[in-house]
């Protein structure tokens, strides 16, 4: 198993540009989520999905869109990048199976918005 | 709103010491608590998961305990090594349907040879 994979690893954008961060998992996990990690703020939930076709907002959803057309993939779209979106983005997945719900994280995407 | 706190934010110790890392949370309605390790510039690696009905979990030199009623967890690292240097994060999975993790801000551990 490759686990949770994310592409790209690094990205530099100009203000106003759009892009999609890719996330895929090969563990047949139902639950997938996106977090951003900022110094002094910890990890904060952006969006999550409990299965194909179902998504919902987390703590900091503004400026981001998601979709879940397959179990494996959960892309995160930045509609119009802003410097405040400079961050490290992590995708995570887990089984949707009650209290034993170990979450697995991807390696992250480092995004800089100029 | 669930809040998770890790104090201190950083710790520097000599090699060989036994360590206790602390994590506290404000709402005891959790499914589980998970400890992660993060190396600089890397993703999160799951170390231990304790279900809400459990008191502790062990993996090698690591032992994590959970006292849900008091909102506390500890991660015990035996005989620390320089390779243990990393940031350690705890996170609780809140009950209520979203299955989301609420993270502490982490504790940066440095083990000096």
pLDDT in tens, A1-20: 789 999 999 999 999 999 99
The distance of A63 to chain B (nearest Cα, Å) reads: 20
Three-state DSSP class for residue A83: helix
Asked if the Cβ–Cβ distance from A100 to B105 is below 8 Å, we say no
Q: Which residues of B touch A89 (CB under 8 A)?
A: none
Interface test with B, best of A23, A61, A95, A99 (most B CBs within 10 A): A99
Instruction: Check CB contact of B76 with chain A, cutoff 8 Å.
Output: no
Report the C-alpha gap between A26 and A96 in whole angstroms: 15
Asked if the Cβ–Cβ distance from B31 to A99 is below 8 Å, we say yes
Report the C-alpha gap between B64 and B74 in whole angstroms: 6
> Any idea what DSSP says for residue B6?
-
- For B56-104, what is each residue's pLDDT tens digit? 999 999 999 999 999 999 999 999 999 999 999 999 987 765 557 899 9
Asked if the Cβ–Cβ distance from B52 to A99 is below 8 Å, we say yes
E-only strand ranges, chain B: 4-5, 10-14, 19-25, 30-38, 44-51, 56-59, 62-67, 72-77, 86-94, 101-103, 107-112
Report the C-alpha gap between A74 and A32 in whole angstroms: 7
- For B16-34, what is each residue's pLDDT tens digit? 999 999 999 999 988 889 9
Asked if the Cβ–Cβ distance from B44 to A94 is below 8 Å, we say no
Q: Which residues of B touch A99 (CB under 8 A)?
A: 31-32, 51-53
């Amino acid at each position: 198993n490759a686990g949770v994979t994310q592409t790209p690893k690094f990205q530099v954008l100009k203000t106003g540009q759009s892009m999609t961060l890719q996330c895929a998992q090969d563990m047949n996990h139902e639950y997938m989520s996106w977090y951003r990690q900022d110094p002094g703020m910890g990890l904060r939930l952006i969006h999550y999905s409990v299965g194909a076709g179902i998504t919902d907002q987390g703590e900091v959803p503004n400026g981001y869109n998601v979709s879940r057309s397959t179990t494996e993939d959960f892309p995160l779209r930045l509609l119009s990048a802003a410097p405040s979106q400079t961050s490290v983005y992590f995708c995570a997945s887990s089984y949707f199976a009650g209290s034993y719900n170990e979450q697995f994280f991807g390696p992250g995407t480092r995004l800089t918005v100029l | 709103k669930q809040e998770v706190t890790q104090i201190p934010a950083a710790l520097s110790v000599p090699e060989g010491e036994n360590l206790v890392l602390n994590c506290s949370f404000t709402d005891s309605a959790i499914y589980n608590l998970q400890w992660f390790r993060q190396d600089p510039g890397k993703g999160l690696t799951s170390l231990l998961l304790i279900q809400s009905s459990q008191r502790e979990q062990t993996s090698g030199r690591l032992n994590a305990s959970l006292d849900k009623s008091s909102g506390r967890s500890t991660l015990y690292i035996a005989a620390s090594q320089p390779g243990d240097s990393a940031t350690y994060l705890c996170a609780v999975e809140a009950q209520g349907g979203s299955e989301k993790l609420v993270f502490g801000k982490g504790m940066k551990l440095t083990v000096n040879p």
